[in-house]
A and B are shown apart, each in its own frame.
Chain A
Amino acid sequence: MHGAFRGIVDVTGGLPECVVRARSTAAMVVDMQVAGAARGYEFGRVSAASAVREEMEYFFQRLECTVIPNLMRLQAACRSVGIPVVHVRLMNSAGDCADANWRYKELGLLVPPGSEGSEFVDGLGPEDGEIVLNKTTSNVFASTNADQVLRVLGIDRLIMGGIVTNNCIESCARGATDLGYQVILLEDGCAAWTANGHQHAMAHLDGNFCTVKTLDTVVSEVQGAYDRDGGDSKAGSPA
């Protein structure tokens, strides 16, 4: 039985082809913030106390060696052609995090507004004027006005990366898909606490809720989209 199926993609025959377009695509970077993506901070400490302690080294190495550099390249490529970069992070509104749902309280996934944990990791913060969405749920569409913002911008497809692959990334991708967005997920632009968790999520998602691509492919599509569709006039020529 194992190997006979690849998930619902076998049934659907896959999603319609989704490539980057200059004027209807946004990059969405999820939860690349100190609380979850920097060594020694809150979620790292939570996980260090659990059964996956020995695997956290895998997670941080993948972030430092692969995910963060790749998302920096993604952001630079998108900015150079005027594709909006949308920054999503977990941050409560209430100082005591009373607005967290029961599960987030139970798991200790609490980020007080303005706290160190809410800051974006070095190199991935928003540039002046870029959109920042503060969520309190796994799926950004469940606790922010992301849908309204993206529709106003004319966005119908998202390039998505960040953490954690099988948690917030998967929830955001599933949420976006159900709302009618087409999602390009960066295989080498996201990470889970374990390699298995990452691979399972990719298997769940690819061809089903989104199209999985590598950063190199997406960056060349971003540049190709500028050449084909034309970019934002204020953005200058692609790097």
Chain B
Amino acid sequence: MVNETGGWRALTSESPTAGFRLGRDSTALVAVDMQRKSCDRNAERGLSAWLRHAKPEGADAYFDRLERTVIPNVARLLELFRRHRMTVMHFVVGPERGGVDELPPAFRALYTAQGGLDERGLLDTDAPEFEIVEGARPIDGEPVIRKVTYGGFTRTDASEVLRARGIDTIVLVGGTTHVCVEATARGAVDLGFRVAGVEDALIDFDPLMQDAALLTFATTLGRVVSTGRVVEEIETAGGARPASSVTDVR
């Protein structure tokens, strides 16, 4: 259905609809919800557990792609941004104060689902499922923004955190593409940020939904890029601040 009109693949580097390149001075890497509950095939709660039990055939493909493609690409981009002393920000699903009252009704549904999600476990930010997976973990100084919404810019200070660092462009990685990533991208564009989605560093348990979301990125929200493309544009960006002379970018 998506590919009848060429899909997002026809709209990436060859004919971008949004005319911006990624520079080093004002671009941030933003990782969405790379937590064990959705990114670790052995997690006992959350999307991971639900997929294993309810959709075992889809779960294998999902975790294989995460482990072989998405997490390595996220790790590669983290290394790139850190080496150039660029901003890295992480979103995680989790309440600031705890308790189901903090959740909007639609999000509360996630926590009270019949599908095997454990409300108590997911609200517990000390639970192992809350942790960010190996390969995508934050390092000291990188902001980690908790959210209880799909969109990372709703009811958080993410926009202020990025503005304070001089960021006007965000590169999005993580998951779930058609849910929290797309909601975050829509919020970012409305706030005036330029947005690029990294197709091989984004994960969705439903490949069709990922394609549909990427089509929206390519046609409306900004750009779809590959990990390799991000590396190329950042490495060749002119006018960069030499990493060695920058001491306090974050």
Q: How far is the CA of A180 from the CA of B179 in the complex (A)?
A: 16
In the complex, chain B residues 188-211 whose Cβ is within 8 Å of any chain A Cβ? 189-192, 194, 205-209
In the complex, chain B residues 77-131 whose Cβ is within 8 Å of any chain A Cβ? 104-107, 109-110, 113-115, 117
Q: How far is the CA of A175 from the CA of B176 in the complex (A)?
A: 17
Interface size class of B (residues with CB under 8 A): 35 or more
Q: How far is the CA of A138 from the CA of B221 in the complex (A)?
A: 10
Nearest Cβ in chain A — how far from B233, in angstroms? Answer: 18
Chain B residues within 8 Å of A15, by CB? 105-106, 109
Chain B residues within 8 Å of A139, by CB? 186-187, 190
Q: How far is the CA of A177 from the CA of B190 in the complex (A)?
A: 16
A208 within 8 A of B: yes
B246 within 8 A of A: no
Contact call B176/A8, Cβ cutoff below 8 A: yes
In the complex, chain A residues 150-209 whose Cβ is within 8 Å of any chain B Cβ? 166-167, 170-171, 174-175, 177-180, 182, 194, 196, 199-200, 203-204, 208-209
Chain B residues within 8 Å of A204, by CB? 178, 182, 209, 212-213
> Which of the 9-residue segments B28-36, B67-75, B138-146, B148-156 touches chain A?
B148-156
Choose among B113, B186, B208 the residue that contacts A13 (Cβ–Cβ < 8 A). B113
Contact call B208/A2, Cβ cutoff below 8 A: yes
Contact call B209/A101, Cβ cutoff below 8 A: no
Contact call A10/B150, Cβ cutoff below 8 A: no
Closest to A210 in B: B106
Chain A residues within 8 Å of B19, by CB? 106
Contact call A102/B155, Cβ cutoff below 8 A: no
Cβ-Cβ contact count across A and B, 8 Å cutoff:
135
B2 within 8 A of A: yes
Q: How far is the CA of A101 from the CA of B169 in the complex (A)?
A: 13
A143 within 8 A of B: yes
Choose among B50, B182, B190 the residue that contacts A137 (Cβ–Cβ < 8 A). B190
**Could you give 24 example pairs across A and B, Cβ below 8 Å?**
A11-B117, A13-B109, A103-B194, A106-B18, A137-B189, A138-B186, A138-B189, A139-B186, A142-B187, A142-B190, A142-B191, A174-B151, A177-B106, A178-B151, A179-B154, A180-B104, A196-B4, A196-B5, A199-B1, A200-B1, A200-B215, A204-B178, A204-B182, A210-B106
A interface, CB within 8 angstroms of B: 1-2, 4-8, 10-16, 51-52, 101-103, 106, 137-139, 142-143, 166-167, 170-171, 174-175, 177-180, 182, 194, 196, 199-200, 203-204, 208-210
Pairs of residues from A and B, 6 with the lowest C-beta to C-beta distance, nearest first = A142-B190, A5-B206, A137-B190, A178-B149, A180-B104, A178-B154
Additional A-B contact list (17), CB under 8 Å, known A1-B208, A103-B221: A5-B206, A8-B176, A10-B54, A11-B47, A11-B110, A11-B113, A11-B205, A103-B189, A106-B18, A138-B189, A166-B216, A178-B107, A179-B104, A200-B215, A203-B212, A204-B209, A204-B212
